[in-house]
Structure 1
Amino acid sequence: MYALTTAALSFPEFSPALIEIDLGFLGLPTFPIRWYALAYIAGLVIGWRYALALVRRPSLWGGQSPATRDDIDDLLFYVTLGVILGGRIGYILFYQLPFQFEFIQRDPWSLLRIWEGGMSFHGGLLGVAVAILIIARQRGIKLMPIADIAGVVTPIGLFFGRCANFINAELFGRPTDLPIGMVFPEGNAGGTPSAYNWETNQWVYTGAEVARHPSQLYEATLEGLIPAIIISVLVWRFGLLKRPGMAAGLFLLLYGIGRSIVEQFRMPDSFTWGVMPEWLTMGQLLSLPMWLGGAFLVWNAMRKPPASAASA
């Protein structure tokens, strides 16, 4: 039905690793510094610096910042754990146990092999929510403003993460005949090994590839870049943070909308074929609570007057 055409875009010859460190003098194999790991680091560090910039400006909050630098520093530590542990546990609960239970029975140690891939954004989001609850309770600070900080900075990490998915040639889209279609190397779908040959530093093609939507770039734009711009403009120009819960709710809504749209172009996980209905994907199903939670937070924030310097 779909064929490789000359009109299709070629996948850039990016290596999944920025550099490879030769550890042969220690009797160890070469250690690659992967773009995916760097994306996590960049998202966390830039998000941390952005959060500090927000709490340093009391005027954004109506006269009093909700947190100190120490609070944000501690939040970074717990959020890092929440993203990694929540992302992995979420993948196990949302994808592996429902759809790959027999495989897990045969190889239970696969649950711990995180280096083979398998992270869930929705699980990571729940991990971040737990981190926020811990900080709010330990530090005795209000919950909603901290959630708002997360709502402002999270799209940054999403943008970097989806760009890294593109560089890894993973999570590509459905076949397409449109000019924007791109020919990705085989692999990185359904848990198959990477199609990158580390010895020759080249992507491996079989000749049977078809043009597909570069859905990773769609996600980087709709889930990361656009929410980051919209929420930041509302924060710095229109006082969004003066309404507790508004930024967090808006992020949940924008992400839910973006993810639901992109799922129409993204290739579903192979292990969900025949299990999920054709008109619904797991990503859309998991985004439904985000729609509901985001709508509630926005509605609740709009019910109350914005904070002001006089009432802070």
Structure 2
Amino acid sequence: MMQYPSIDPVALSIGPLQLHWYGLMYVFAFLAGWLLGRWRASRSWSTWTAEMVDEFVTWAMLGVILGARLGYVLFYDLSAYVADPVEIIRVWNGGMSFHGGLVGVVTASWLWGRRNGRSLLDILDFVAPLVPTGLFFGRIGNFINAELWGKVTDSPLGMIFPGAGPLPRHPSQLYEAGLEGVLTFVILWIYSSRPRPRGAVAGLFGVLYAVSRITVEFFRVPDAQLGYLFAGWVTMGQILCLPLLAAGLWLIWRAYRPGAKA
């Protein structure tokens, strides 16, 4: 069994002000995405400039934060937020949905693309390899908050999480950080290191994320307020991944079909 490294969720306190690690993870995520985006923009094959990346990141930040929070409220715990609407703005307590954030960033990309004359698929192809770094930091934030832990296990990887009882559990946050974050980043970064057919990079991201999330959900305890939705094992996260998986497969097929536009 591994020892859970109990970390104070508050990184820094200055009087009544508190800086939470969960919030810092979002800062690290956007900083990493911005720096990697600027590096991609500097490549000879890129049609982006550093200034375009700077402007887009601002739009993406708003899209991700608003979408992720509203997505969690709508998909996972609507009744609780209706009872206490102020809780919606307490993002440091956790409660961000990847799928809501995805809708938010796609919407922001579409609006920014209309403003700047860029194709939505071209934007998503450029942005997709940057997203796994954000997923990595987000899952580390979940781990520090000791939330979204896994099922009870006798595996050597098991940990006893605060508030999760006396039995060791899968550190599912770390599984997701490894699959959705590190592995997905490596594959996408290598794949996108040279020009690919339009939509292929975005499609590959959709497939990799959906497969990773669906897999880890088998080791993770579902949200208490929802539980399993079907057959004693299907979770909300898995259901929300199915449209993403289908969209990713369709984009890859579309990109590589005969006569596809490069």
TM above 0.5, one fold?
Answer: yes
Map 1:67-82 onto structure 2 (within 5 A). Answer: 67-82=48-63
Q: Which has the higher contact order (CA 8 A, sep 6+)?
A: 1
- One-letter amino acid of the structure 2 residue matched with residue 220 of structure 1: A
Q: Does the CA contact (< 8 Å) of 2:179 and 2:212 recur in 1?
A: yes
1:47 to 4, 19, 33: 33
Alignment CA distance shift 1:114-1:35 (3 Å): closer
Match of 2:110 among 133, 145, 161: 133
Instruction: Tell me, in whole angstroms, the C-alpha distance in 2 between the residues paired with 1:131 and 1:254.
Output: 22
Offset from partner CA, 1:7-60 (integer Å, 9 cap, x none): x32211322233222x2xxxxx2x23222111111111111111121122133x
Note closer, same or farther for the CA distance 1:140–1:40 as it changes in structure 2 (3 Å cut): same
Q: Distance in 2 between matches of 1:180 and 1:219?
A: 14
Equivalences, count? 261
Separation (CA, whole Å) in 1 of partners of 2:181 and 2:89:
28
Alignment of 1:110-121 (within 5 A): 110-121=87-98
Secondary structure of 1:210 counterpart: coil
Q: CA deviation at 1:165?
A: 1.2
Structure 2: gaps spanning 5 or more residues = none
User: What residue number does 2:156 align with?
Assistant: 179
Cα 1:274–1:245 shift into 2, 3 Å:
closer
Which residue does 2:124 correspond to in 1? 147
| Cα distance between partner residues in 2 of 1:105 and 1:185 | 28
Counterpart of 1:148, as a letter, is D
Q: Aligned partners of 1:243 and 1:222: how far apart in 2?
A: 25
**TM-score, normalised via structure 2 length:** 0.93
Over aligned residues, Cα RMSD in angstroms? 1.8
Q: Secondary structure at the match of 1:9?
A: coil
| Aligned with residue 188 of structure 2, among 231, 237, 248 | 231
How much identity, in percent, do the aligned residues show? Answer: 43
Instruction: Determine the C-alpha separation between the residues in 2 that align with 1:112 and 1:169.
Output: 20
Q: CA deviation at 1:250?
A: 0.5
Gaps of 5+ in 1: 1-7, 24-28, 60-64, 188-207, 308-312
Are residues 276 and 118 of structure 1, via their aligned partners in 2, closer, same or farther at CA, if it must alter by over 3 Å?
farther
Larger Rg: 1
Q: Matches of 2:156 and 2:228 in 1, distance apart?
A: 30
2:75 to 90, 94, 101: 94
Q: Secondary structure at the match of 1:132?
A: helix
1:264 paired with 2:218, answer yes
